[in-house]
Amino acid sequence: MTGHQDDLNKDFGVDDVFRALKGQCISKDSGEYNYELCWLDRTTQKSKKGGSHTGMGNFVRIDSITVDDDLPPDGKGLGSGVRVALRYENGQHCWNGPNRSTLVVLACAEQDEVWKITEEEKCVYRMEVGTPAVCDVSGNGKGAGKDEL
Ligand code: MAN
């Protein structure tokens, strides 16, 4: 994993591409919540019925993970191969569980967009997000399914 980390930092990293996104947020409705991703900052779960906002984690690092998903017909999915992922940890404590955390997995897209949010296990969230920020990263290009990393 360290090798991947080094490559990421060298190839595009926080210094370049993600710096431009810092301070910007995108969101998506899903179920009873609206979920917000603020790049390199935090993820948040907001109840549609009003009331409290729940911190789902604070940005800790860029990572990479291997995924193997079918690409939906609209292309708004991760496909398969190595993908850039952003880790958000130490969010609001979960009753009888861990502090909330979010893994944000990125794939190339024309605009920043949250595609899907899942709660993998209690208070452990995963967001699939499209962004032009990773389009130059090996394996994340359009038609991402066919990369050979
Ligand atoms: C809230 C939300 C859920 C979470 C539960 C855990 O309802 O944050 O996503 O599973 O708390 O108690």
- pLDDT at residue 138 in the model: 60
Nearest residue by C-alpha to atom 3 in ligand 1: 123
Contact between 80 and 60 (Cβ < 8 Å): no
Total-model pTM: 0.85
- What lines the ligand 1 site, CB under 6 Å? 45, 54, 94-95, 119, 122-123
Q: Which residues pair with 126 in a beta bridge?
A: 103, 118
CA 45 / ligand 1 centre spacing (Å): 9
pLDDT tens, residue by residue, 94-135: 999 999 999 999 999 999 999 999 999 999 999 999 999 998
